Amino acid sequence: MVLFKNYFSRNLARHIGFCGLVITIFACQTDSIETRKDYFPLNESLVRIYEVTENTYTVTGEPTQKKYFLKEQISNITSSDGISSDFILQRYTRNTATETWALGSIQKGTLKPDRLTFEENGEIKPKLFFPLYDKASWTIPQSNASSEPLKVTVTKQNESLTIGNENIEDIFVVQFRNDSTLIDLRRELETYAPNIGLVSAEYTSFDYCQSTPSCIGKGIINFGTSKKMKLISYSKE
């Protein structure tokens, strides 16, 4: 009987210890997932500065390129329910690093525990859903009722990102659109980092040559635009 009790006690202790370990690991993983929502930090002192390159293609002329700097900053953060926050996203531009910033645009947004939305042409449209994780997906309705909703997918970037001397982990690429055919290319990709927000983006819209059989499928751009943004610095003013 004593042997049985000792055997039972040892195994029970082992079992409880194992369960405790499992619960602890699960709790840590859950906490990590649940708390990593700050891919769009609402901080009025946070300033993000991007280097932007835009290319424009036309049928009649040579491609043109434009480079400039873009600054983003949040302002007017308010909350009526203590859960969601309304804000204004201000964007400023300048052509050189020494010019004075000029206000380019403002956009109204709302950050909720599970999503980020922006107001576009009088409509509230979802942008991101939280928490971000590998292979997450959602749909975004289109303004044109006849168009199918966009299926947005999320991919975790395996490599870290370096900004200045800082190494940043847990990077996610959000693919809003990536459609490539012999006729056209439509691509919208945004990359987000925790506690920073948007760190890079690519927006491409090309229509390829279809005028002669010899140009079809050659990737010859008839007309279109491409825009790339890369975060070069961020700070808290």
Tell me the CATH number at 185. 2.40.360
Tokens 């943004």 correspond to what residue? 229
- Dihedral sign for Cα atoms in the order 19, 25, 31, 33: negative
Q: What is the pLDDT of residue 163?
A: 86
145 and 70 assigned to the same domain: yes
Supply the pLDDT for residue 191: 97
Predicted confidence at residue 75, as pLDDT, reads 96
> Rounded distance, CA 127 to CA 148, Å?
17
pLDDT at 37: 59
80 in the same domain as 144: yes
Do 231 and 155 reside in the same domain of the chain? Answer: yes
pLDDT at 188: 97
Model's pTM, two decimal places? 0.81
- Residues 148 and 124 reside in one and the same domain: yes
Rounded CA-CA distance 137/149 in Å is: 12
- The verdict on 167 and 86 lying in the same domain is yes
Clarify whether residues 53 and 2 are in a common domain.
no
Task: Say yes or no: 120 and 98 in one domain.
Answer: yes
- Whether residues 193 and 225 share a domain: the answer is yes
Same domain, 109 and 11: no
Q: What is the pLDDT of residue 164?
A: 81
**pLDDT at res. 55:** 97
User: 99 and 202, same structural domain?
Assistant: yes
Measured between alpha carbons, how far is 112 from 24 in angstroms, rounded to an integer? 28
> Do 114 and 184 fall into the same domain?
yes
Contact assessment for residue 142 and residue 123, using Cβ atoms and an 8 Å cutoff:
no
- State the Cα–Cα distance between residues 113 and 15, nearest whole angstrom: 37
pLDDT value for 141: 82
Q: How high is the mean pLDDT in each 10-residue block of the chain (237 residues)?
A: 42 44 36 59 95 95 95 96 95 96 97 94 90 93 78 94 88 95 95 95 96 88 96 87
Both 12 and 112 in one domain: the answer is: no
Question: What is the extent of the structural domain holding 7?
Answer: 1-35
Phi, psi of 153 (to 5 degrees): -125, 150
